[in-house]
Structure 1
Amino acid sequence: MTQDHNPWLVLLAAAICVVAIGTAFHLNSRAAQASGAVRRGWTGLAGLLAGGGIWATHFIAMLAYQPDLAMGYDPLGTVLSLVLAAAALTGAFALTNSLAGRWAAPLAGGAAGLGIAIMHFVGMTALRLSADLIWRPGYVAASLAAAAGLAALAFFVAKAKTKKGRGRWRWLASSGIFVAAIVALHFTAMTAVVVVPNGAKAMAGQIIDRGGLAVIVAGFSMLMLGAALALLWVEGRSQVATLLGLRTSLDGLTSGLAIFDRQDRLVVWNRPFTEIARAAGAEPEAGQTMAELLSQAGTRTDGPVKQALADVRHTAVDREAQWPDGRWMRVQANPTADGGPVLIISDITAQREHADALAAARDAAIAASRAKSEFLANMSHEIRTPLNGVLAVADLLAQDSLNPNQQELVGIIRSSGDTLNRLLSDILDLARVETGRMETASEAFPLGETVRSVAGLFETKAKEKGLTFALDLPAGMERLVTGDPMRLKQILGNLLSNAVKFTEVGSVRLTVRDTESGVRFRVLDTGLGFDAQTRARLFQRFEQADSSVTRQFGGSGLGLSISQELVRLLGGTLDCRSQPGMGSAFTLVLPLPDAEADAGAPDADQEVSDAPSGLSVLVVDDHPTNRRVLELLLGGAGCEVTCADDGQAGLEAWRSGRFDVVLMDMQMPVLDGLAATRAIRAEELARNLPRTPVIMVSANALAEHLAASQAAGADNHISKPIAAAELFAALEVLTGPQAERRVA
């Protein structure tokens, strides 16, 4: 170029370019974070501002160009260059926001470089001089390459990922590179032109002189800068409003929150944090470090709290500590990406008190449950002990020659005792259900024999009331199955007992069938029946049909509730249907898979002798009635009986004699039955003595008592009140031919 540029105008052009491009890139970053119409709006504003900035830069630079020639500008070309620049830059920003991958920056940069070039060269065509312009192709190509390359680099930097907190540097860098692209194109392109004066060339048509152009460019620049400043002001106000809203939200939190920067300086905190800090003796201020806060707190903050606050600068923290004023605080913190921690301090005093109250309530409930279990165990022992005497003596009396009146009286005693014993068992089962300790077994047993034994008991009772009793048991039921025979008897016993109890006229029928779901037991009667409302509460505890039925027939109302729980534990179903005055039908379905026959198990039809004779039996029991009952039962069977009134006396008697079996009570003074049994087993092992069978005969009948007996070394456990048949069967197993198969 043969003419110099006015440096002040060049600086003005550069300033306008920097402000316009910087603002445009900032607006485009907002567009990248938006979508839809909002994105398009921000992209259009960014493109207009960038295109206008380039246009103003070009023409101010042209005003700085001072050839000694007459100059003017064509209005149409001047306006067209502005429109083309704005359109090209809008397209470039749209490309960089919509494209991803390695080609996004080159394409957007190419579009932007093309827009700069189009604006420049269209603007140059609008120049009117009394001279000829000659272009040097090399410089033109260099200007295009410089514009496209630097623009592509600017868009690449703008889209590059940076660490959190470094977005401002990325924005400044991309804006600066794009300004360099504009400057490079302008001055390289101006170097590419050679001005050859031609006095004969006239400037025809409507032209804008230098003064008019200066006014237009100055006005447009002011308008553009004003719009940019207005946008920034609106954005700043929006940020202030957002921060105020955030401040209001933070102050509404119940926990104290504080944010520190990487230099450990307090940046943001809320009102609860201020209150918590003041309670510790500190006053939060902007720029204050964690160390300064802790120093202000001094001795009013105890060691664990201070350590928790100190540790948040280095690692994640979640601790609980008691504040000096007695409150419990939870200190939580996590380091942020830029290195500063976010600290949350919550008052958990109420939660701690609630948790302590729940723990106390839980402990009280456990203690109450334990006390109830102990009470039930004691009551079981205390009730079963005299009941044992009642039933055993009644059994002994029934074996004597009695007149009909005496037989009836004995029958009443036995029936009343059985009822009381059953009620006691129901209450104990209820306790097991409530404590979750109801247990079931799984063993092989003869299905047909088990059903007949239950049915036979209630057939007699049904006939006593004048009812017809029928058992429909197909031949296919005569097989071994796997399940819990005791619980099956208990459930069927409850159902048959209710059927007989609530049927005054007609019949009771028990049918057994195989189904896909298991074995189905159905108890049908022609009794009172019940309606749908009664059915809904029939399986609840202490429920019967109504109060009048309770008064007429008695009962605790526990049988069906316990049966339902047992059926659930056994994996089956129990349901019923009925209509008032038309009888009832209860259906029980249990999974009872077939079991393989056990050659070592006694056959169901094998008879066991009524009473083994000639045995030497040691009876250890602290209750004289129980000792006398066993003496009568065993003595009548031809056994030699020796008695001891506590565990220690029983142990001494065992040491001094040779007994075929020991009947040991569990709960006794001086030495209880469990300790005495363990002592017997220990001495047998130490002295290499043969094992003496021990049967625990106790009123303690809960599952844990049976387990304790087994753990102590007892061979069997018989619950009081004692049934003579059960006792004799146990003696036969332990001392008769089956004893050889007994597992020691």
Structure 2
Amino acid sequence: MDHSGRSPMSLFMLPDDPSLLSYGIYDPKLVLLSLLVAIFSSWMGLQIAGQARQRNSQRPIFLLTGSLALGAGVWAMHFVGMLAFNLCTRVGYDPMITVGSSLPSIAASFVALNLIARERLGRTGLLAGGVLVGAGIGAMHYAGMAGMRMSLDLRYDPATFALSIVVAVVLATLALWVRFGLNRLRSMSESRRLLLAAVVMGCAIAGMHYTGMAAARFVGTIDPNAPASSDTTTLALGISLITVLFTVVVLAANGLLRYRRLYADLSRSEAWMRALLTTTVDGVITVDRDGTILEFNASAEKIFGWRRAEIVGGNVRLLMPEEERNKKVGLLGYLRDSGAHAAPNNAEVDALRRDGSRVPIRFAVGHAVLGKQELFVCFVTDITERREMVQALRASEQQFRSLIGTIPGISYRSRIEGEHPMVFISEAVERVAGYPARDFTGVPPGSPPRRCFGALIHAADRVRVSEAIEAALREDRPWLVEYRLLHADGSTRWLWENGTGVRDDHGKLVWLDGVILDISERRKMEEALRNAKEHAEQAAAARATFVANMSHEIRTPMNSILGFTDVLLDGELAPDQRRHLDTVRNAGRSLLRLLNEILDTAKLEKGAVELEINDFNLLSLIDELSSTLAANARAKGLQVDIHYDPALPTNLRGDELRIRQVLTNLLDNAIKFTASGSVTLRAEPRGDQLHFSVQDTGIGIAPERLNAIFDPFTQADASMTRRFGGTGLGTTISKQLVELMGG
């Protein structure tokens, strides 16, 4: 019956008389066939969705072909399911409507596969997908049933119809959820998860169909004489076969696309691999289990000196020294055992060149099985330069360690944080602190040190040292600091440290480098010198005090002796008496002069002499000296010459008395030690100073004795004391007075 002109609402109008309803029965074989078609189509669709997930560039093609295959399968399941329902009357199908009913199925399949091809699906996406897929399959089902042509009138039970739509959405959502939910079952293989998902999806599709069929109501009376439907089983099998063939064709087309893609990837990978093997600096050698060389790249030619055409087909033993060929381990042992033990990766051995020379190499071996053939890929690196570099570094390190060991002190490098933990410290620290170097750096490297060098600094010096280092780092300058260190044996050592901060290219402080010297002996010597100096100063002070007291005590009676001697000489005396008294007077005067000189020396050493600065006439001073000393000179037949520079000012300011004393000592000595000739005094300006010089033609002084004449009680020659007399204090006093006046 044609229902094209009927209103949509009339489809849900059921007769009041139940006897007007006709009922059909299902063919179990065709029902099972429809279920198998749904499961098969679902399995194919899921396969294609998996390919679409892996191939982003060909994703639209895979989704389109997959939706065609799955949509056709769902439609075929629906059509076979309708053929399985026998109404005992002839049933036909409108070609346009029946074929057109596949479009919603294809659209629903496209939505389903597009969702399944994603890596993950959220709850909102899952519900939206379930609604779209369920609605699409429901539309396909009811559109297909609308194409039925028969003597009965097709109606739908409203409640069951609504239930079928809900069931379609729920089952579609379940089918989508199962596909993603099964991914959590890591213990199940991918193929089993795929098959289980296909079974669930196929059952869901079949469940949608048969729930929709349950909503159908057929109104009318079946004519017993009406011809029955043709062989539906054959038609169902034909449609199923066509659907399977179509699905297989789609799968084959996708497989062909995938094969082309894989072939292109393989060709690209092979080209990339060949380029890699050609340009890599490492030698790559491929051998089989027997050690036969199958591949030999250009870098291997450079390392071993063999041409590829010469070595391919030969045995890998050609590249090994004799001792390497007989080892149970190594490359040959690995080949003999077919990889039974660990591959010799990153092993360093000596290999053999074509000319018989040896080359140090590092090699690693990879194992691959291609069919029944075992292949071993050896990656070889020439480490000649690296080994030479290592040897040079070791020699440099040994030289550095030797240099550090000969430095008379501790060399160190420390970090800047915290208490400046040591990165390196020389072994000399054990002599200074009593602890080995490893206690301060940590062994093995990276482990925390057992001791901190800063903790050994004396508590009284610790803050001062820290402040000195911090100030030097702030001002970007080296630091010099002395402090005490507590030795392991409980003693205290004095140390001298010179350090500096090391900065990187950006000016950031990264290290502290320095040298530490043990100055304990120097400190002891300085302490001894200070004590000796104090003792000497005390002794000198005591001597000066003693000399001053003795000079004072002796001069008083000596002046009395000289005074009474002069009184006696003024009276009437016999010649012998006068001669004896002259001797006493001369001896007394000599002794008094000695006492005066000793007293002056004591005062000068004690710093008790103060200059009396006054204005004086230099020319008058020199004239008086010349007149006073000329008598002694004339008595010895000497000439006294005075050279006074006219450029000198007449009036000067200074201590006239001390200048007179110095010049008197010098001129008196010159006259005393000169037997004949002359004595010359020169006065001239030199810059802002007055310069005097006394020159004579006397006995002279040996060059090596020039410095000694200014020492107390010392003369140029010991015989002079006997010949000329004197104490040797005159020049000493003169030198001290000149230095006191700034000369």
In which range does the TM-score fall when normalised by the shorter chain?
A: 0.3 to 0.5
User: Which structure has the larger Rg?
Assistant: 2
Output the TM-score relative to the length of structure 2. 0.38
Output the TM-score relative to the length of structure 1. 0.38
